[in-house]
Structure 1
Amino acid sequence: MTLLSSIIALVIGFIVLIFSAHKLTDNGSKIANIYKISPLIIGILIFGFGTSAPEIFVSLLAAFEGTPELAVGNAIGSNILNIALVLGITAMILPIEVNIDVIRKDGLFLIFATLAAGLLLWIGKDLSRIDGFILIILLAIFLWITYKDQKKDHHKFDNLSSNVDINQKKETWVKLFFALIFLLASAQLIVFSATKLADYYHVSDLIIGLTVVALGTSLPELAVAITSAIKKQHEMIVGNIIGSNIFNTLAVLAIPGLISPLKLQKELLITDYFYMLGLTIALAIFFLYSPVTKMKDTISRLEGFGLIILLSIYIYIRFLV
């Protein structure tokens, strides 16, 4: 693949990504309306898992090809970008307001999952098959809790932009499915072409995972978040980020452990993991009490800008110092 063809593929990937993210968000809203499902649950399960599929695919591919460090870097890098970049940019476009009572349990589970994963990584300074198995068990517990909560939850809906007749269920599911397929395909095209561009610089698998691949696989979350913000589907934004980060922390990290166990670099444990943990805790603080707006449940434009600054600091410390 030549330099020019890589750039063209990258541009095409971005165009398809934006279009498919718009369709995914629109039809996800319709599904929530038809089945009386909380938009938060749609964000966590359909968008959270769906937009984490690129990370899962890359993790599987990297583990089977003997480059598990790329998979680990992808998981941690994607979580950092989901919070600092995705939420940062989205909040700068439109302040994010969410009912903290609705997201509290899932947010706390994300913090718990992040701490649990960190503990497993620090024990032995590796990612073993036992670690991978434990992470998968935690993911199963999260899915079970989410399912049980949805059965007893009578949610007060956001104002949906699309009113859907019940007879349109099949058509809506088909559109949602193809939107997700195109979203994932465009993300893979972006990752592939961007990785080819990065090869010119001869950087390590871990660095590629933390940067190019993490950015590419976080693009679905960014596209979904921005389109959700425009449609004022605030709970879908947060549900998407929380769900995606939970899947990244538990599923994407588990895969290299189960398939190709590895020793971890010191920099990954000291810098990358703790930055991810700090951003996860900061996210919870933003929603519990906004230091800028003095209000609960809000990430303001200024705080979104602050998240971008934190990402810039991380990039400077990790890659430029």
Structure 2
Amino acid sequence: MPMDGFFLLEIRRKEDEKMELAMIIFLFIVGIVFIVKGGDYFVDAASWIAEVSGIPKLIIGATIVSLATTLPEMLVSVMAAAKGSVDMAIGNAVGSVTANIGLIMAISLVCMPGIIKRSDYLIKSVLMLAAAALIVFSGFKGETGMAVSAALLVIFILFLWENIASAKRSMKAEEGGEEKKQISGKKEVITNLIKFAVGAVGIVWGADLLVDNGS
């Protein structure tokens, strides 16, 4: 019967949609796993490379680690913008900052409260508020442009400069300097180089999967 055939086609169509949705969710989760594990490998390897080159840990934390941990979010936003998903790019950037402050930092302080020096965070906080003000301004306008992008980039450069300057001040306050980390053997070198490469590839693939299956 024609009607029976119609119902069969409708059932098959719904089953195909469910399978497609399940595959999208699966690939989305795979993308998250790639980004998380790739980020871990990349940060570990980048930190090791910096340590064996004699760069102090404070400088490593202020520059390499902070940039490497931001790399996954940056790639997701860049790929999303390149593929026309501007809303996803901006939402990812704003959402990651909000999660870092409102969730990660809050949980960390609840688990281990401590006293901080006002001078260590005053300039960073001002720069963060300036960046937030620019985002709010763009939200009121309903658009972003080169001027806002350039201003945000300047804020980032100032933030990075302040991180390095703060690390140098802390190093001067400490007694003595840090010794260069000794390499235990070729195996350690190969392992960290592989982790660096695998981490970078994992972040890129993960970001691509997130954008393709999340938009």
Query: What TM-score do the two structures reach when normalised by structure 1?
Result: 0.44
Q: State the partner residue of 1:181.
A: 200
Q: State the partner residue of 1:130.
A: 147
Task: Return the match for 2:124 from 81, 104, 107.
Answer: 107
Q: What secondary structure is seen at the aligned counterpart in 2 of 1:63?
A: helix
Contact 1:120/1:131, CA 8 A, preserved across alignment: no
User: Where do 1:34-53 residues align within 5 Å?
Assistant: 34=52, 35-39=54-58, 41-53=59-71
- Give the alignment's Cα RMSD to 1 decimal: 4.1
Distance 1:187 1:46, change over 3 A: farther
Q: State the partner residue of 2:77.
A: 59
Q: What secondary structure is seen at the aligned counterpart in 1 of 2:153?
A: helix
Aligned length: 189
Distance 1:138 1:193, change over 3 A: closer
C-alpha distance in 1 between matches for 2:23 and 2:87 = 27
C-alpha distance in 2 between matches for 1:15 and 1:70 = 19
Question: What is the Cα deviation at residue 181 of structure 1?
Answer: 0.7
Contact 2:73/2:92, CA 8 A, preserved across alignment: yes
Contact 1:20/1:182, CA 8 A, preserved across alignment: yes
Q: State the partner residue of 1:304.
A: none
Q: State the partner residue of 2:86.
A: 68
C-alpha distance in 1 between matches for 2:171 and 2:158 = 22
Cα deviation 1:198-234 (Å, max 9, x = unaligned): xxxxxxxxxxxxxxxxxxxxxxxxxxxxxxxxxxxxx
Q: Which has the larger radius of gyration?
A: 2
Contact 1:50/1:180, CA 8 A, preserved across alignment: no
Q: What secondary structure is seen at the aligned counterpart in 1 of 2:171?
A: coil
C-alpha distance in 2 between matches for 1:21 and 1:68 = 23
Q: Structure 1 counterpart of 2:131, which letter?
A: T
Contact 1:10/1:189, CA 8 A, preserved across alignment: no
Cα deviation 1:226-266 (Å, max 9, x = unaligned): xxxxxxxxxxxxxxxxxxxxxxxxxxxxxxxxxxxxxxxxx
Contact 2:77/2:88, CA 8 A, preserved across alignment: yes
For structure 2, the 5+ residue unaligned runs are 1-18
Distance 1:88 1:175, change over 3 A: farther
Query: What TM-score do the two structures reach when normalised by structure 2?
Result: 0.61
Distance 1:74 1:17, change over 3 A: closer
Q: Structure 2 counterpart of 1:143, which letter?
A: L
Distance 1:88 1:10, change over 3 A: farther
Q: What secondary structure is seen at the aligned counterpart in 2 of 1:154?
A: helix
Task: Return the match for 1:140 from 140, 157, 165.
Answer: 157
Q: State the partner residue of 2:16.
A: none
User: Where do 1:1-321 residues align within 5 Å?
Assistant: 2-27=20-45, 30-31=48-49, 33-34=51-52, 35-39=54-58, 41-88=59-106, 95=112, 100=117, 103-105=120-122, 107-118=124-135, 120-121=137-138, 124-151=141-168, 153-154=170-171, 164-166=181-183, 171=189, 174-175=193-194, 177-178=196-197, 180-185=199-204, 187-188=206-207, 191-192=210-211, 194-195=213-214
C-alpha distance in 1 between matches for 2:36 and 2:49 = 20
C-alpha distance in 2 between matches for 1:78 and 1:44 = 19
Bigger RCO of structures 1 and 2 (CA < 8 A, at least 6 apart):
2
Q: Give percent identity, aligned residues only.
A: 22
For structure 1, the 5+ residue unaligned runs are 158-162, 197-321
Runs of 4+ in 1 over 6 A off after TM superposition: 167-170
